[in-house]
Amino acid sequence: MIGVTAVRECSRCEGLWLDVAAFEKICARDEQQAAVLGGASHAPTHPASDAVDKIRYVPCPECSQLMNRINFAKCSGVIVDVCKGHGTWFDRDELTRIVEFIRGGGLDAARAKEKMQIAEARRQLEEEQRAAGSRRPAILRIDGDDHRLGGIAAAGGLLKILIG
C-alpha cells in the first residue's frame, strides 16, 4: 500500500505496478505523494548493475503485451514502462523520482510548455490556411453552399492540362 492506494510489488527487483487510476491518484494528490516519498526513504540502495543499463521491454502483468517505454511528461528523465489500457511499471526508485519531479513543479512546467507548443502550432496552421486561401485560383472560389462545383471545375482543369 502507498497511503490508501493498493500497488503490486515485486519482492525480487523492488519494482511496482500501478493501474491507471492508482497512478493518476498519486500524480494528483499531495498526501499520496508524501506516502511515496515517506516509504521510499527507507528503501535500501543497491549498486547499479549492467542489467539496469540494458534496454528491455517488459510485458504488461495484465495482458502480457510488451509495454511502451516513455519518458514521463516527455522531459522528466524517468523512463517508465506503460500499458495504455492497464497501468505503469516502475523499476526501483522510478516512482519516487517521478513524485519528486511533480513536487518540484516539473509536471506543471511540462504542461505549460505543451500548451504553448499547441497554441503556436495552431497559430501557424491558421496562418498557413489564410495564406493558402489568398493563393487559391479564382476557379475554386465559389460563393454559395455547393463547394463540389469548385472541385469539379478544378479536376476538369487538371485533366485538360494532363491530357492536353
Inter-CA distances, 128 with 122, 124, 131, 133, 135, Å: 10, 6, 5, 8, 11
- Judged against a pLDDT cut of 90, whether residue 40 lies above it is answered with no
pTM here is 0.57
- Judged against a pLDDT cut of 70, whether residue 139 lies above it is answered with no
Number of C-beta neighbours around residue 76 at 10 A = 20
- Judged against a pLDDT cut of 80, whether residue 88 lies above it is answered with yes
Cell 491518484, residue located? 25
Question: What is the per-residue pLDDT for 48?
Answer: 44
Percent of the chain surpassing pLDDT 70: 63
User: What are the strands, taking DSSP E only, across the chain?
Assistant: 8-9, 16-19, 68-71, 79-83, 87-90
- Judged against a pLDDT cut of 80, whether residue 56 lies above it is answered with yes
When pLDDT is averaged across residues 6-28 and rounded to a whole number, the result is 82
Question: What is the per-residue pLDDT for 65?
Answer: 94
- Please tell me which residue, 67 or 149, carries the higher pLDDT value: 67
